[in-house]
Structure 1
Amino acid sequence: MTGDRRERDELLVESAEHVLTVTFNRPGQRNAMTWNMYQGLVDACDVADGGDTRVMVLRGAGGKAFVAGTDIAQFESFDGPKGVAYEQRISEVLHRLRAVDVPVIAAVDGYCVGGGLGIAACADIRVCSPSSRFGVPIARTLGNCLSADTVDLLMQLLGRARVVDMLLQARFIEAQEAYQSGFVTAVADDVDAAAHDIAARLLSHAPLTMWSVKESVRRLSAGGPVDDTDIVERVYGSQDFARAVRAFVTKTDHTWEGR
């Protein structure tokens, strides 16, 4: 893609034609996340919400991994309080990603592990390659844990029984199981092309309608009764809706502006 590029050594953020592409860029370490990468992802979310972005795409460099969790070397000095602070920070990052106003697509190629699975779970649409594997094998590797917040997110998407089995047995979910469970939308040999095709389709759709879907899902996921008055009022009161109705009646073209 061409366009304005903002780069960090470990994270690439590129904007072109209303699509913001974030590439986790440590292929030699299977794109394991550093603290700077987590902050870079938060910054990218701010970019997505602050400009003319209509779709956000997440991908991993190197073709072997989306994100293989957090860089383990960063855990060497950890104790209980540091573990609490770490899990709270991860929850903050994941909540920020889920709060992005525009649709988020995760293009998974290879391992999607630990924190990487959490990041992918925050996307609205996921596609993966046939060789992709999803899991959090910490019961046989590090012996740490996930926050209840992250466990809840995974259970919402994969189901309680599958998540408990996956965590207790430290097993990986293969691409076909991820597809059959509904976690991924499609399994494709070229996940970047698949993500590009989906992004192109979303660019032709009403931004506020897509925002309303995301916002309703966010509120419903929190549990309890949901007041959607502001959502409905914003969409039905928008210029986009008024112009689309007029265009439909008069059989003329119109352009979505997101307002």
Structure 2
Amino acid sequence: MSADEIIIGREGPVLTVTFNRPEARNAMTWDMYEGLYAACETADGDDAVRAMLLRGAGSAAFVAGTDISQFTEFTTGADGIAYEEKITRVVSRLETVRVPTVAAVQGFCVGGGLAIAAVCDLRIADRSARFGVPVARTIGNCLSMNTYSLLLHHLGPGRTLDMLLRARLFTAEEAHAAGFVAELCDAEELDERTGATVERLLGHAPLSMWAAKEAVRRMRTAALPDGDDIVAGVFASEDFAAGVRGFLTKETTHWTGR
């Protein structure tokens, strides 16, 4: 990983994580996921950190999923299970950070990027933001049970299935109407609105905010079922292998259901 692919900065009590691959719409490499995990450890290991802000470099994307080129070596269901466990480990760590977490979203927030934003406590977006997991028309994979639970938790079953089955991206306005986005603004206002939200959080009781975060997390995950059989079946499929090839070569994938 280039040291610049994920930038961890500190300004007073605020730890800022910037996903910094604008030429690739900030698509996440394995090492970037590990860098995010390390940032969470930093936030919880320093009592002077009172809030965490996540954002993408450039204006095209927050995070446009996982870098698809990393899937080319997947050949078995076990590869898919290991991948989803890796993603769940990181997003779950972000979800358990003790301080409030805020995602500033512009452009694409899809796939793994949507999972990252979904475990943040608040999402502030400008009108360019687009949210979704269009894997049914791109590479033909699936999500972990934890990520499905996050979408169901935030959007409900109807919107979740609409997003996933039609493989469409929700507009910023739709995400705001669904309650997923806490505040919607114009692009030139995003920094100001995000800064004002973080400043407000800094003035609130840390333990009260932690208790609210932790109670919501525990209720969401209390009855989370195992889904390894789902993941293994999809990631070992011919369709997934063909979808990855088609995505990278920009050729149309002909789905077979095998």
Cα deviations across residues 136-183 of structure 1 (Å, max 9, x unaligned)? 000000001111111011110111110111101100100000000000
1:139 is aligned, of 136, 141, 157, to: 136
Give the drift of 1:8.
2.5
2:51 is aligned, of 5, 30, 55, to: 55
1:156 is aligned, of 146, 153, 156, to: 153
Give the drift of 1:66.
0.1
Cα deviations across residues 102-141 of structure 1 (Å, max 9, x unaligned)? 0000000100010000000000000101011001000000
2:20 alignment partner in structure 1: 25
Distance (Å, rounded) in 2 between the aligned partners of 1:10 and 1:222: 31
* Ranges of 4+ aligned residues in structure 1 off by more than 3 Å: none
1:254 alignment partner in structure 2: none
Give the drift of 1:48.
0.6
SS in 1 for 2:7: strand
TM-score (norm. length: structure 1): 0.82
Distance (Å, rounded) in 2 between the aligned partners of 1:139 and 1:87: 17
Give the drift of 1:86.
0.1
- Residues paired across the two proteins, number: 218
Give the drift of 1:192.
2.2
1:210 alignment partner in structure 2: 209
Q: Unmatched 5+ residue regions in structure 2?
A: 224-258
Measured on the aligned residues, the alpha-carbon RMSD in Å equals 1.1
The one of the two structures with greater contact order (alpha-carbon pairs below 8 A, sep at least 6) is 2
Give the drift of 1:223.
2.8
2:34 is aligned, of 33, 39, 43, to: 39
Distance (Å, rounded) in 2 between the aligned partners of 1:103 and 1:131: 24
Deviates more, 1:74-83 or 1:136-145: 74-83
The code of the aligned residue for 2:45 comes to G
2:62 is aligned, of 61, 66, 83, to: 66
1:182 is aligned, of 179, 184, 201, to: 179
Give the drift of 1:214.
1.0
Q: Unmatched 5+ residue regions in structure 1?
A: 1-6, 225-259
SS in 2 for 1:159: helix
TM-score (norm. length: structure 2): 0.83
1:229 alignment partner in structure 2: none
Deviates more, 1:155-164 or 1:7-16: 7-16
Cα deviations across residues 58-93 of structure 1 (Å, max 9, x unaligned)? 000011100000001111111221111001111111
SS in 2 for 1:145: coil
